[in-house]
Amino acid sequence: MSDHGMMEKEEIFSKVLRAGRRTYFFDVRATKAGDYYLTITESKKFTNDDGSFHYKKHKIYLYKEDFSEFNDILREMTDYIIAEKGDEVISERHQKDFKKEDYSSQTNNDDIAEGGESITDSDSAEKFTDINFEDI
């Protein structure tokens, strides 16, 4: 029992993914009825001006009845991102020599996506990487 008089939920199976300042926790837990569900927690470390730090956490509860559809959409979205942008990280934070391209000089705005990237069929085909997400 904890200080609040509630029983702590037992973690049945857990995995941790450390990703820079973020850590992802995947925990299988049990309902009161004894069925299993998944919690996914993102924990991000923040440093205060005085050098102390704190964590912000966001949690998703995923129940068995949603697994199939969640998995399908997650696979579709990750496949789309990899197909459109490849698996290399493109950001100012991860690449010291990163330079934002200036798209304001382009005249055909129909070929510019929301984030400023150019949209062409050849770009998509060249950047496609076949990745298998069977382990999800």
User: What does the pLDDT profile of the chain (136 residues) look like in tens digits?
Assistant: 444 444 456 679 999 999 988 999 999 999 999 999 999 999 998 888 898 888 899 999 999 999 999 999 999 999 999 999 999 888 766 556 656 665 454 445 444 444 444 444 444 445 445 555 555 5
Q: Are strands 11-19 and 53-63 parallel, antiparallel or unpaired?
A: unpaired
What is the structure's pLDDT at 21?
Answer: 86
To the question of pTM greater than 0.75 for the whole model, the response is no
With b for 16 or more beta-carbon neighbours within 10 A and e for fewer, the 72-90 pattern comes to eeeeeeeeeebeebeeeee
What is the structure's pLDDT at 107?
Answer: 47
Q: Which domains does the chain have, with CATH numbers?
A: 11-127 (3.10.450.700)
What is the structure's pLDDT at 134?
Answer: 55
The token pair that represents 69 in the structure block: 């559809």
Distance CA 116, CA 57 (A): 31
**Tokens 């964590």 belong to residue:** 55
The token pair that represents 105 in the structure block: 């000089």
What is the structure's pLDDT at 58?
Answer: 95
What is the structure's pLDDT at 130?
Answer: 54
